[in-house]
């Protein structure tokens, strides 16, 4: 499929630059003479030489254009164009003679007008070749490719025996003039060749390279119904592209989903085949793991468990012979012992000296009493037993 084509329409010739589909490099340049009043002949000739491009951008030559610097309120570009359309004869002298379609240069006060009937006829003719998605003044298209060069005055093609001058400042169109005096363009430079594209095709190249973002809110140089049709076509194209993109994403997700499902099924199939062979080894492995877990548990519990048997033995050994333990209570390694002895005050220092006890302290007051001519004292002592000294 052919790529996009830019078409410059001058009073004498039609120039076409066709871009390659994906690389957007210039694939073909064509120049043919034409009669602006019989565009169908030119379209037939172009069709036979270039085939059918994907879409067309038209650049209307300066020879067909009325140019005016307008001073309008700072509103959106389409609103400013609407103001011009409301009273075109206020801005363009030709508007009194014939109906004009108008537009503005992007981010510039330069307005362009062109005969509405001619533009409509050209669009209709070129639509038989390929969809026309944009119509703009040729100076704008030229400025698009020249903006990469540098600012300044450039000599551009205008009407017969006329000279056109395009002034670019800071990458924007500052002025566009057409003059019958050849000296008017004396200070301007000739438009250079853009890469391998000859200089006369600069406007067609600029038109071919047009992208929607280049409009910057400025409407096309065409009548309102066509602009609406173009907007609707663009919306349809965007919607179709969005639907295709969504379908593509959905399909990709579906494909990925199937792929993962197949992966899982293949894994399960493989594991079900191999598990039969591995059953004896699996049983042996389970037993081994079980024994390893048992060994780990035993090691862990034996290392950390409390040792009440050892604690009782240590307490018995540490207490003096005359001490009597009436009750002992343990929670883990924390012990509480209650009993009687002849001198309770010696117990805490005695137990505290023991290597396997710490945090030794009295829990309650000691009471003294006599029994069979002997004095006794009660004690209630808390301590912590160290299982491994």
Partner 1 sequence: MRSAFGRSLEPRERRTIAVGATVVALAAVVVLGVLPLARGWSERESLIAATRERLARVESIVGREAQLAEQTRAMEARLDAGGTRLVRARTLALAASTLQSMVREYARSSVVSVTRLDAAGAPIAIGGTTFALPATISAQGDIYGIADFLRRLQYGPSLVELTDLTIAPNPVLRGNLLQVSIGLRAPIALEQ
Binding residues (CB under 8 A) for partner 1: these are 253, 257, 260-261, 263-264, 267-268, 270-271, 274-275, 277-278, 280-288, 290-295, 297-298, 300-302, 305-310, 312, 326-332
Sequence-distant (6+) residues with CB within 8 A of 254 are none
Q: How far is the CB of 293 from partner 1 (least distance, A)?
A: 6
Tokens 């299982």 -> residue: 387
Q: How far is the CB of 371 from partner 1 (least distance, A)?
A: 16
- The rounded Cα 18 to chain-centroid distance in angstroms is 32
Which residues, listed in sequence order, are joined to residue 336 by a DSSP beta bridge? 329, 382
Q: How far is the CB of 310 from partner 1 (least distance, A)?
A: 8
Q: How far is the CB of 250 from partner 1 (least distance, A)?
A: 9
Query: What is the Cα–Cα distance from 62 to 113, expressed in whole angstroms?
Result: 10
Q: Which is nearer to partner 1, 182 or 278 (CB)?
A: 278
Q: How far is the CB of 331 from partner 1 (least distance, A)?
A: 5
Q: Which is nearer to partner 1, 60 or 315 (CB)?
A: 315
Query: What is the Cα–Cα distance from 90 to 84, expressed in whole angstroms?
Result: 8
Instruction: Centre a 10 Å sphere on the Cβ of residue 228 and count the other Cβ atoms it contains.
Output: 11
Q: Which is nearer to partner 1, 203 or 314 (CB)?
A: 314
Q: How far is the CB of 335 from partner 1 (least distance, A)?
A: 9
Q: How far is the CB of 256 from partner 1 (least distance, A)?
A: 9
Inter-axis angle of helices 39-50 and 116-127, to 10 degrees?
Answer: 30
Question: Given CA atoms 135, 136, 137, 142 in this order, what sign does their dihedral have?
Answer: negative
Q: Which is nearer to partner 1, 196 or 281 (CB)?
A: 281
Q: Which is nearer to partner 1, 69 or 329 (CB)?
A: 329
Query: What is the Cα–Cα distance from 271 to 274, expressed in whole angstroms?
Result: 5
The answer to whether residues 5 and 56 touch, using CB atoms and an 8 Å cutoff, is yes
Q: Which is nearer to partner 1, 193 or 249 (CB)?
A: 249
Q: Which is nearer to partner 1, 75 or 271 (CB)?
A: 271
- The rounded Cα 305 to chain-centroid distance in angstroms is 59
Query: What is the Cα–Cα distance from 4 to 51, expressed in whole angstroms?
Result: 11
């Amino acid at each position: 499929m052919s790529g996009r084509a830019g078409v410059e329409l001058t009073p004498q010739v039609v120039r076409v630059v066709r871009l390659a589909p994906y690389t957007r490099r210039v694939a073909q340049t064509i120049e043919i003479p034409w009669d602006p009043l019989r565009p169908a002949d030119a379209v037939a000739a172009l069709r036979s030489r270039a085939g059918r491009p994907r879409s067309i951008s038209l650049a209307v030559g300066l020879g067909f254009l009325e140019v005016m610097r307008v001073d309008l309120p700072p509103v959106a570009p389409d609103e400013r164009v609407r103001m011009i359309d409301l009273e075109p004869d206020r801005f363009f002298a030709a508007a009194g003679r014939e109906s004009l379609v108008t537009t503005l240069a992007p981010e510039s006060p330069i307005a362009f007008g062109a005969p509405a009937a001619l533009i409509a006829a050209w669009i209709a003719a070129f639509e038989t070749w390929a969809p026309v998605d944009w119509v703009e003044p040729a100076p704008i298209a030229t400025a698009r490719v020249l903006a990469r060069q540098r600012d300044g005055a450039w000599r551009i093609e205008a009407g017969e025996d006329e000279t056109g001058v395009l002034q670019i400042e800071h990458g924007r169109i500052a002025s566009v003039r057409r003059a019958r005096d050849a000296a008017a363009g004396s200070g301007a430079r000739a438009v250079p060749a853009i890469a391998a594209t000859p200089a006369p095709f600069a406007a067609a190249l600029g038109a071919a390279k047009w992208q929607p973002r280049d409009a910057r809110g400025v409407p096309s140089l065409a009548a309102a119904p066509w602009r609406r049709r173009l907007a609707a076509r663009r919306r349809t194209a965007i919607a179709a592209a969005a639907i295709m993109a969504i379908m593509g994403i959905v399909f990709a997700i579906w494909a990925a989903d199937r792929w993962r499902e197949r992966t899982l099924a293949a894994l399960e199939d493989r594991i079900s085949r191999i598990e039969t062979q591995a059953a004896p080894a699996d049983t042996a492995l389970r037993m081994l793991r079980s024994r390893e877990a048992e060994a780990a548990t035993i090691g862990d519990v034996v290392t950390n468990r409390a040792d009440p048997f050892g604690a009782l033995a240590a307490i018995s050994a540490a207490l003096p012979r005359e001490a009597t333990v009436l009750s002992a209570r343990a929670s883990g390694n924390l012990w509480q012992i209650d009993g009687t002895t002849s001198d309770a005050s010696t117990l805490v220092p005695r137990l505290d000296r023991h290597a396997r006890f710490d945090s030794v302290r009295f829990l309650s007051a000691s009471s003294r009493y006599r029994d069979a001519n002997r004095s006794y004292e009660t004690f209630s002592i808390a301590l912590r037993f160290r299982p491994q000294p």
